[in-house]
Structure 1
C-alpha cells in the first residue's frame, strides 16, 4: 500500500512536468529531469542536430520570470559561454533559446558524475585526492578571476556561490577525476560599467559566504571566493564546517562568519595529520579581513604545489609515510568521557533485561551521545576488542523515523548481537540525539551485565564516517517537512523489514573487515621482521 502511494506520487510529478518529451527550438528533445536549482530546473536532453548527443538544458522557473531574474539568467549564459571555452574546469554553455511559453533556457555540456557534496557522503578523501581536487577548483576560479571580454575590455568575475553542490566531479577513464565549477548564475563583474548589475538584495549560500558578502558590501572581489574556498577545503578534510551554528538563520550565520574564530585542525582532532603548510593556508583563507587572506588564487596554487611536492618526497623516502595522512577521517579523543561512563549506574526505571537504549550524557567534554546495552557478562567479554559496525536506516519520505543499529561481531565463534533503537524525529528528544550524533561524530557504547546491573562494566567508542554524519544531518533537515503517509508503528515495521533484508550483506562486510584486519597485522609483522633482519645484517 505504501509502495503504491509513493509510486503514485512520482507518476504525478512526471505528469505535471510539461517539458519532458518536448522539443526545444526544434532541436533539443527533453528526456528527463535531472536536477533543480534556485533559478529553475535542469533536464537531460538529446541534441538531434548532433546524432542525439546528450546535453543538459536549464530552464528558468516560470515563477521567476521577471526583469531581475531574466538579467541574472542572461548573465549566467554570457559568463558560461566565455569561461567554458577558456577552462575545462568550468561547465560550458553551448547554446540558448526561448520556449514556446517565452521562458529562457540555456544548453550546457552534459556531465555524467556527481557533485562534491554527494561524493563526500560516500567516501573519505585522501590527501592526494584533496590536493588534486583543490588544484582543479583553483584553476577554474583563477580563469574566472582573470575575467571575460566585453566591449573590448576585460572584466574579472567573482563566482559568489562556491559550495560543494556547485563543484562537479566527472570520472574520465584516461585522466581520472575532472572537476567542473557550476552555476555562475549569481556571479558578479568587478566593475559596474559592464551594465549587467543586479539588485543589492542578498544572494548566496549562507554557510559559505564571506563576512563582507553576508554584510551586503557592494565591492566584493576575488578574495570573497577565496573565503568560500577556505570553508570548502576545511569541510573536505574534516567533514565538519569550520563554524558552529545553532540554526540556519541569516543572523546566526552572520554572527559565525563575522565573529567566530575557525578552530585549528588539532582542536578538531589531534589525530588528523595535516601538513602544517596546508593548515596555515586554509586558516588564512578563512580570515575575517580580506587583506589577511591570500590575495589571489595564484598564491593558493603555489602553496598547494609546495605541499604536493613535500608529500611526494615523503612518499619516495618511505612507502608507509601516508598511512596516517592519506585517509583523513576524524577519530575523536574520548578517553576522558569514557572514564566518566564507567561511573554510570543502570537507571532504576529500566528493567534488568536484554535491552538497549540511547542516552545523552553530560560530561566534562560536553554532551556526548551514548548507547546503553545490557547483556550476559560472558557475552560482553566476547565482544570486547572485536569488530563492530553502526548503521542507520530511514524512510523520511513516508515518516520521519530512523532505525539506529549497533552490530557487535565476533568472527571466531561466530557470534553477532544487533542492538537497535527507533528514533522518532517528530519527538524533540529524537531530534536532539540525531543532531548531537551528527555533530559529535562518535558515541560511547556502555555495557551493563545481568549479573552486576548496578554499574557500567565496559565502554567502547564507535565512530561515524563522514557519509553517516552528513546523512543524519540531511535527514534531520528533511524531517522538518516530512510527510506522514503512515503511522509510527507502520514505519517501525517497514524499517525493521528493510534492515532484515540487508543483514547478510552487513555480516559479509564485517567478515571482510576482520579478514583485512588480520592481513594488515600480518603485513606489519613481516615489515618488523624485515627491518630487524636489515639491522642484524648491518652489524
Structure 2
C-alpha cells in the first residue's frame, strides 16, 4: 500500500494488543485509517492495520464486527483476488481494528488519476476483479448454510494492484463486509447510517433496501469499468450531495464511452456490457459475474482477431498466436503407443509428454473407432470443477459434443494439487495454455489414430494459477476421497449448463467466422477494384 504523508495521531508509535507496532499512516477514508505496522509475534513482519472510524457501543456490535471479519478472512483464503484478513481486535478506546496482509503497489484511483487504461490492461484487471467478486458472490459456509457475500462498496480505492518481488501484478479487492457492518448501526436514519461511496452506489442501495444482492455490486462494477476506460465518471452532478447522486443513479441515462471519450474505441459487445451493468432495474443487469466473465472473454478474442484498417491502406491484422504452432508435436503424438500398464478399455488419463517443442500436457483417451470418427471436427470444451475451500483438487473435464447426433462424450480426471503429479499437470496447463487430446481406437489400441489440440481461455489459465497458489497454503477440511465425491456430485449438476455453453459458443463462433469472411471478401473486392 502506498505511503501518504504521516499525520500526528494517537496511534503512531503505539502497540495494539501488545503485539502490533504502528509505524506509519498509509491510507485514510470515510471508514477509517490504514497503518503500516509490525507484528512483534512474527519477528517484526510488516502488516497493514485498518482502524475503523467508530467505537463498539455494545456486545451486539462486537459480535457483528467479529462475524464480518470472519467472513472477510474466509474470502481471503478462497480467492487470491481478495485481500487476506489475518486477525482483529479492539483498542483501549473500544475502537475496532483488523489486520491484513501488507500490500505494495497502488490502488486503482491513483492509477486512473494519471490516465485511463488501455483495452488490454482493462481486460486483465477487470477479469481479476470479476474472479474475486465471483468467489464472494458464490458465498461462504456458515453453520452448514451457504451465504452469498455482497461487497456494497466497489470503487477504485478498494481495488488494489499489488506487485510481488518478481514484478508480477495481482488485483486485490479490499474492505469486504465492512460497509455492511457499519450500515448495521442501530437507531439511525437512512442518510445518517448510509455507508457507501455515492458516485458508485446502485440506485437500490441508495434507496436503503436491506436485501441487496450481487446485482448491486454489478452496478458499481459498471461505473468502475466505465471510469477505467474513459478516466471519467458516467454521470455528471452539480454537487456531491446524497440527493443529487440519487437523482443521477436513478434517472440519468448513461452515455456511451465514445460520447465521453471520442478517442476511445471499444467493441460493441463491451459497450453493451457497460450499459447493461448500469441498468437502473436489477432485472436488466447481468444476473451474475459469470455472465460478465463470458462476455469479457469474447471481447478479448474479438480484439485479437480484429481487422485493422488505416487511412492509407486496408490490411488484415496478423492474428495473435494464442498458442505455439502445434503441428510438430501433434505429429509426434501420432507415433505414441498405448501404455502396456493400462487396460484395453474406454478410459482416459493425463500425461506430460516430452516433445521437440518441450513438455506438453496431453490427455490420452481410448474409445470405439466409430465414436472417434463421429467427434472429429465437432464441438469440444474444457471445464475445471473445484471446491478449493474444502480441498485443493480439480476435476478436469473434456467434453466432446456432436449437436446433430445429440452425442456427448465426457472425459474426466481428478488432479490433486497436493500431489506432485497433479500439481505439475495443472501448472503445465496454466503455463502452456493448451493440451493435446490423443485418441486410441478400442479395436486397434496399439497406436494413436487422431490428435486434437484444445485451447484454454485466458480466464481458465488465470484460475489455474490462482488455485495453484492457494493450494500451497490451503487447509484440508476433508479427505481426498470425500473431495472426489463432492466434485462428482457437482459435475453431475453442471453437465446441462456445460452443454448449453458449448451450444452458445458454437453458434457465436459460426457468426464470428461469417462476419470475418464477409470483411475479408470486402477487402478483396476493394483491392480488385483499385486494379
TM-score range, shorter chain: 0.5 to 0.7
Residue-by-residue CA offset, 1:210-256 (whole Å, 9 max, x unaligned): 11111112221100000000000011111111111111111111111
Measured after TM superposition, the shift of residue 177 of structure 1 is 1.9
Q: C-alpha separation between the residues in 1 aligned to 2:90 and 2:261?
A: 52
Query: Residue 396 of structure 1 corresponds to which residue in structure 2?
Result: none
Q: C-alpha separation between the residues in 1 aligned to 2:184 and 2:56?
A: 17
Q: 1:50 aligns with which of 36, 42, 48?
A: 42
Residue-by-residue CA offset, 1:292-323 (whole Å, 9 max, x unaligned): 100000000000011111122239962699xx
Q: 1:143 aligns with which of 135, 157, 161?
A: 135
Measured after TM superposition, the shift of residue 126 of structure 1 is 1.0
Measured after TM superposition, the shift of residue 173 of structure 1 is 5.3
Q: 2:117 aligns with which of 121, 125, 146?
A: 125
Q: Structure 1 residues 122 and 265, CA, compared in 2 at 3 Å: closer, same or farther?
A: closer
**Unaligned segments of structure 1, at least 5 residues:** 1-9, 190-195, 322-534
Measured after TM superposition, the shift of residue 137 of structure 1 is 0.5
Q: Does 1:19 align with 2:11?
A: yes
Q: C-alpha separation between the residues in 2 aligned to 1:40 and 1:269?
A: 34
Query: Residue 489 of structure 1 corresponds to which residue in structure 2?
Result: none
Q: C-alpha separation between the residues in 2 aligned to 1:123 and 1:271?
A: 13
Q: Does 1:259 align with 2:251?
A: yes
- 8 Å CA contact 1:60–1:73 kept in 2: the answer is no
Measured after TM superposition, the shift of residue 144 of structure 1 is 0.9
The 5 A counterparts of 1:267-278 are 267-278=259-270
Q: C-alpha separation between the residues in 2 aligned to 1:198 and 1:146?
A: 26
- 8 Å CA contact 1:186–1:204 kept in 2: the answer is no
The 5 A counterparts of 1:442-453 are none
The 5 A counterparts of 1:90-489 are 90-172=82-164, 174=166, 176-188=168-180, 199=186, 201-314=193-306, 318=317
**Unaligned segments of structure 2, at least 5 residues:** 309-315, 321-526
Q: Structure 1 residues 53 and 105, CA, compared in 2 at 3 Å: closer, same or farther?
A: same
Measured after TM superposition, the shift of residue 24 of structure 1 is 2.3
Q: C-alpha separation between the residues in 1 aligned to 2:259 and 2:144?
A: 50
Computed over aligned residues only, the root mean square deviation of the Cα atoms, in angstroms, reads 2.7
Q: Structure 1 residues 238 and 24, CA, compared in 2 at 3 Å: closer, same or farther?
A: same
Q: Residue 212 of structure 1: SS of its match in structure 2?
A: helix
- 8 Å CA contact 1:39–1:64 kept in 2: the answer is no
Q: Structure 1 residues 104 and 202, CA, compared in 2 at 3 Å: closer, same or farther?
A: closer
Residue-by-residue CA offset, 1:69-100 (whole Å, 9 max, x unaligned): 65664344122111000001111111122334
Q: Does 1:65 align with 2:64?
A: no
Q: Residue 305 of structure 2: SS of its match in structure 1?
A: helix
Measured after TM superposition, the shift of residue 152 of structure 1 is 1.4
Q: Structure 1 residues 39 and 242, CA, compared in 2 at 3 Å: closer, same or farther?
A: closer
Q: Structure 1 residues 69 and 129, CA, compared in 2 at 3 Å: closer, same or farther?
A: farther
Measured after TM superposition, the shift of residue 171 of structure 1 is 2.1
- 8 Å CA contact 2:28–2:34 kept in 1: the answer is yes
Q: Structure 1 residues 187 and 105, CA, compared in 2 at 3 Å: closer, same or farther?
A: closer
Q: Structure 1 residues 76 and 122, CA, compared in 2 at 3 Å: closer, same or farther?
A: farther
Measured after TM superposition, the shift of residue 183 of structure 1 is 1.0
Q: Structure 1 residues 170 and 319, CA, compared in 2 at 3 Å: closer, same or farther?
A: farther
Q: C-alpha separation between the residues in 1 aligned to 2:93 and 2:112?
A: 39
Structure 1 residues 286-295 or 67-76, which shifts more? Answer: 67-76
Q: C-alpha separation between the residues in 2 aligned to 1:185 and 1:129?
A: 28
Q: C-alpha separation between the residues in 1 aligned to 2:25 and 2:282?
A: 40
Q: C-alpha separation between the residues in 2 aligned to 1:124 and 1:39?
A: 26
Q: C-alpha separation between the residues in 1 aligned to 2:290 and 2:108?
A: 23
- 8 Å CA contact 2:55–2:96 kept in 1: the answer is no
Query: Residue 26 of structure 2 corresponds to which residue in structure 1?
Result: 34
Per the normalisation by structure 2, the TM-score is 0.53
Q: C-alpha separation between the residues in 1 aligned to 2:276 and 2:103?
A: 33
Q: C-alpha separation between the residues in 2 aligned to 1:90 and 1:269?
A: 31
Residue-by-residue CA offset, 1:137-185 (whole Å, 9 max, x unaligned): 0011111101112111110011111011111111235473211111124
Q: Residue 157 of structure 1: SS of its match in structure 2?
A: coil
Q: C-alpha separation between the residues in 2 aligned to 1:215 and 1:98?
A: 32
Q: Residue 152 of structure 2: SS of its match in structure 1?
A: coil
Residue-by-residue CA offset, 1:502-529 (whole Å, 9 max, x unaligned): xxxxxxxxxxxxxxxxxxxxxxxxxxxx
Q: Residue 10 of structure 2: SS of its match in structure 1?
A: coil
Q: C-alpha separation between the residues in 1 aligned to 2:251 and 2:280?
A: 8
Q: Residue 310 of structure 1: SS of its match in structure 2?
A: helix
- 8 Å CA contact 1:72–1:185 kept in 2: the answer is no
